[in-house]
């Protein structure tokens, strides 16, 4: 250990001996500094509110008041008033003034006066769908649109917003089929091997008592007859229910197409010779049209329709070709063929004949007008992109 002139100890290495007076003074001073720093840290930790606070996080914008830059919202459903518009020209030349076309897209129901081109667009919450999963039923002053998958329905009265309609016995998957003007048939499973059938107004009010029928008829195999009646397919053939007569069997085979004047059926005899048959509903007579087509077995009931006078047929094309085909039932000759833009041909819900039998209107992503006599079709310039279902009021 080294010693300075004043005798003070200077520690320059570890020394087990106790420090002298000067060392003790240095040690006490260092300890005081450490204690002061520790107290300052403790006070700071105990009083965080005195520290500099970080910038506050942004708070969510209140939804109660209008935004600073409002974005127009497109009303839908019950809060959307109808929007009038016009094509500026007739949709069909020489159309009767009373003919109105209803066209359903993914978001709207259009009502178009064919003779003038005047139209009304009403927002809805039910999108058009192919096949029997949706329906458009027309009344004198209202239209019902229904989606079977969700079991929901909207009623659109002329000049009014769409409003939700509930049928007491409607369940998800229950089927609605257009009935006599202003009504629909409702067909659903009842359990216990039975189905229930009843008629309702488009506003959801019962028109007839609900009947229970044998489940062998199969509620999923029901379709309209083109004249307000209901066709039920099942074991043993197809039965017709209407508002005036008791149920009666119309064929032991299958109904391929229906219309007010004729039904197109397919049936096989005892030797398995299968033929297409035109059934005249007025006279009750049958006429063989020709051999059954290979894809007749895979068609769902009512997937085609016949014209009001019974001369023309519109049906899906072959499985290989797809689209639509229009056939002259007098000669069994194909007079027109159309491609299905959306990939699924559904004449039962997307094709309608004009009451004078002259023209066929087809909706499959676009509107197409077919003249079966001339064998040609045109696509008018109308704002109906994505249209899936149409109906006619006459």
The pTM assigned to this predicted structure is: 0.76
Computed from CA positions of residues 50, 51, 55, 57, in that sequence, does the dihedral angle turn out positive or negative?
A: negative
CATH number for the domain that contains residue 298: 2.130.10
Question: For residue 36, is it within any domain?
Answer: no
* Confidence (pLDDT) at 151: 77
pLDDT in tens, 176-194: 899 999 999 988 876 667 8
CA dist., res. 286 & res. 264, Å (int): 10
Question: For residue 173, is it within any domain?
Answer: yes
Question: For residue 11, is it within any domain?
Answer: no
Backbone angles phi, psi at 351, to 5 degrees: -145, 130
Backbone angles phi, psi at 298, to 5 degrees: -95, 5
Total domains in the fold of the chain? 1
Question: For residue 250, is it within any domain?
Answer: yes
* Confidence (pLDDT) at 23: 45
Q: What token pair was written down for 280? A: 């005249």
* Confidence (pLDDT) at 166: 86
Backbone angles phi, psi at 133, to 5 degrees: -80, -5
Q: What is the dihedral of CA 133, 304, 385, 353, to 10 degrees?
A: -130
Question: For residue 41, is it within any domain?
Answer: no
Question: For residue 389, is it within any domain?
Answer: yes
**Residue numbers of the chain with a pLDDT score lower than 70:** 1-79, 127-133, 168-173, 190-192, 216-220, 301-302, 319-322, 340-348
Give kind and range of the element (H or E) at residue 37: helix 21-46
Question: For residue 346, is it within any domain?
Answer: yes
Question: For residue 58, is it within any domain?
Answer: no
Nearest C-alpha neighbor of 129 from the set 386, 326, 383: 386
Tell me which residue range forms the domain holding 186.
77-393
């Amino acid at each position: 250990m080294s010693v300075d002139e004043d005798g003070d100890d200077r520690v320059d290495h570890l020394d087990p001996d106790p420090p002298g007076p000067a060392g003790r003074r240095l040690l006490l001073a260092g300890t005081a500094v450490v204690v002061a720093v520790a107290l300052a840290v403790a006070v700071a930790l105990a009083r965080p509110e005195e520290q500099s606070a970080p910038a506050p996080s942004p708070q969510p914008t209140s939804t109660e008041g209008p935004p600073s830059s409002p974005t127009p919202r497109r009303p839908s459903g019950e809060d959307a008033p109808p929007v009038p518009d016009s094509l500026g020209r007739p949709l069909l030349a020489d159309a009767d003034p009373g003919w109105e076309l209803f066209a359903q897209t993914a978001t709207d129901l259009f009502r178009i006066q064919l003779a003038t081109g005047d139209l009304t667009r009403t927002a809805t919450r039910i999108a058009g769908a192919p096949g029997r999963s949706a329906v458009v039923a027309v009344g004198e002053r209202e239209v019902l649109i229904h989606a079977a998958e969700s079991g929901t329905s909207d009623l659109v009265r002329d000049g009014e917003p769409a409003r939700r309609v509930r049928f007491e016995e409607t369940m998800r998957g229950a089927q609605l089929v257009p009935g006599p003007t202003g009504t629909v048939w409702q067909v659903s499973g009842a359990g216990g091997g039975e189905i229930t059938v009843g008629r309702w107004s488009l506003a959801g009010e019962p028109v007839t008592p609900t009947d229970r029928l044998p489940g062998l008829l199969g509620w999923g195999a029901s379709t309209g007859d083109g004249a307000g009646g209901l066709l039920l397919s099942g074991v043993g053939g197809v039965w017709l229910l209407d508002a005036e007569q008791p149920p009666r069997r119309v064929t032991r085979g299958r109904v391929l197409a229906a219309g007010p004047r004729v039904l197109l059926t397919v049936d096989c005899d005892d030797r398995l010779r299968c033929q297409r048959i035109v059934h005249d509903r007025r006279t009750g007579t049958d006429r063989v049209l020709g051999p059954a087509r290979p894809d007749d077995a895979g068609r769902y009931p009512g997937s085609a329709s016949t014209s009001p006078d019974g001369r023309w047929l519109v049906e899906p094309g072959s499985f290989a070709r797809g689209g639509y085909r229009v056939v002259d039932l007098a000669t069994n000759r194909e007079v027109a063929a159309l491609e299905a833009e959306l990939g699924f041909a559904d004449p039962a819900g997307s094709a309608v004949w004009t009451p004078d039998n002259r023209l066929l209107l087809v909706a499959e992503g676009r509107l197409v007008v077919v003249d079966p006599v001339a064998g040609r079709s045109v696509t008018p310039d109308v704002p109906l992109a994505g249209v899936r279902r149409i109906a006619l009021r006459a």
